[in-house]
A and B are shown apart, each in its own frame.
Chain A
Amino acid sequence: MPEQANIVLPEGSLEKQTTTLNLGPTHPATHGVFQNILEMDGERIIKAESTVGYIHRAFEKLAERRPLYQITTLTDRLNYCSAPLNNMGWHMTCEKLLNVKTPKRVDYLRVIIMELSRISDHLICNSIVGVDTGAYTGFLYVMQYRELIYEIYEEVCGSRLTTNMGRVGGFERNFSNTAFQKIEQFLEEFPKVWKEFENLFMRNRIFIERTKGTGAVSAERALNYSFTGPNLRAAGIDYDVRVHAPYSSYEDFDFIIPVGTTGDNYDRFMVRGEEVWQSLGIIRQAYQKVQAFKGTDAEVYHADAPEYYLPAKADVYTKMEALIYHFKIVMGETEIPAGEVYHSIEGANGELGFYLISDGGRSPYRLHFRRPCFIYYQAYEEIVRGTMLSDAIITLSSLNLIAGEMDA
């Protein structure tokens, strides 16, 4: 075997000619808890076997006992880099089942939040690709804007990482002036920083040589592996749930779907980078639309769905209906209608789907999360076969594998 010529073993030796290397479960370069058992010939990977499940938390089982509003906290912990996206996706799934129609202003506010969290997710992914190719500075530099995004979350819902943001039907409170100011500040300052960040990488010779042509997935293989999101688009397929099945009034926005050609690490980096620009454009449009609401319209932040949306506290103390609804919702005694829905949103990593089956009662009969990370991590074994270990590390981070989403 010419590939293994570098390993010289004594005549008649029973030693194997390859090295087994454990990458993970807790290796800093995997950026998450999962294991790869690599069969190495020198620096080259000849076989990989992935093991996941180290942080499996049985969310699907837990969801079978919980009323809808308590499941939101489970969705936070899927892709924790963009928790509000998961929250919004879950609320929309419930609204589809419960047949709740949200007002336009709620849709636009949601779009702002969803695109902010898409930016914060891509921010992490792209800057981590930078870290893995040896450029730590970019990562630290853009972190201050993830911080600003988290401050916006904090202003909107009170928490930062696992947000539990919003309710079925809308938000728990209206956006404060501070929140709008911070969004404005973000729109003003972030583009310069992102431009600088991209300048650091896009034409950087070291970066290009490390990423171009490595970790490539062809369009056929990507489709066959059920890839979605930036990883599929980097291979050249323009599938985006925001366009194919618009939710939350995405049809009102003007944006393009960036696609790559080869599906390699460089294309994935570029597609995510361009998506950040598109998201910024969407936020800008949504912000203008939100600002256009005047008077009482500007006070709307939830749908009129008293059975599922918690009433205002003042009403609970003074009105009987509000008290009843408050009690029923908090105790999880609201019956949900029987039915079956599949709702998907364009998560930061791809199509994040919620398959909800209800047979009536207080909680779902069965809830399944379609987790994009789980689905495309299985392709990793095929992608890295025959590549160098150092390229495999970059592939791992540019696929953007989030252990929380993988294990559910």
Chain B
Amino acid sequence: MPIHNDHIKEKLNAQFGDGIISWDESSDILSLEVAPSIHLKLLTFLYDEPTLGFQFLTDLTGIHYPDQPARELGVVYHVHNLKENTRLRIKVFVPIEKPDVFTTTGLFSGANWMERETYDFFGINFVGHPNLKRVLNVDEMDYHPLRKEYPLEDQTRIDKDDEMFGR
């Protein structure tokens, strides 16, 4: 029996109150945005609380919204309660100048490489990570390629007029 959204909301609102910035029920999975200061506490609570029991980390990834001042970079967690078969999506946003997010490797061993990947591509600094270094890109790289300031070349651009390799 999937856990009812209202139960999750009630429990988390009672525990964290102001730390929860918003709820979103419009997409396929119940999702919430939380303040970076409490996100690790919230994930621990979700893990430990018997009626919630979100003990499986399905996915962890980053996202970049350059147009959101002071909260440009985000980390998205998908957690899953396998017993009740309920999924939950948690988002945390941090400023791009100081992208510090607490690591969840203490809760989930599987978060290790997922966080390294997110660091690699978005430059999010997972505070307390045991081995925070690049995982897919070369170590010498000095930028974080999935950020939006590195666009791929526009396939429809016309300013390049090469006679030999005309586009």
Contacts and interface: CB of A to CB of B under 8 A. Distances in A.
A378 B108 CA distance: 12
Contacts of A52: 135-136
Nearest to A57: B136
A237 B136 contact: no
A123 to B, nearest CB: 27
A359 B85 CA distance: 29
Nearest to A408: B136
Given A65-B155, A225-B110, A355-B61, 13 more contacts: A60-B121, A61-B145, A226-B111, A239-B82, A339-B27, A340-B31, A341-B28, A342-B89, A344-B58, A368-B61, A374-B113, A378-B112, A379-B110
Nearest to B155: A65
Contact of B109 (A221, A244, A245): A221
Contacts of B114: 226, 375
A132 interface: no
Contacts of B92: none
A224 B61 contact: no
Interface string A179-194: 0000000000000000
Contacts of B109: 221, 224-225, 378-379, 382
A339 B31 CA distance: 13
Contacts of A377: 113
B117 interface: yes
B56 interface: yes
Contact of B145 (A58, A224, A343, A353): A58
A342 B152 contact: no
Nearest to B110: A226
Contacts of B136: 52-53, 56, 407-408
Contacts, number: 90
Number of contact residues on A: which range applies? Answer: 35 or more
A226 B117 CA distance: 15
B39 interface: no
Contacts of B61: 355, 368
Contacts of A375: 110, 113-114
B154 to A, nearest CB: 8
B146 A60 contact: yes
Contacts of A357: 63
12 contacts: A52-B136, A224-B108, A226-B114, A237-B82, A342-B28, A342-B87, A353-B78, A368-B59, A370-B59, A377-B113, A382-B109, A408-B136
Nearest to B27: A340
Given A53-B136, A64-B152, A342 B59 contact: yes
A223 interface: yes
A355 B76 contact: yes
Interface string A36-70: 00000000000000001100101011101100000
Nearest to A224: B109
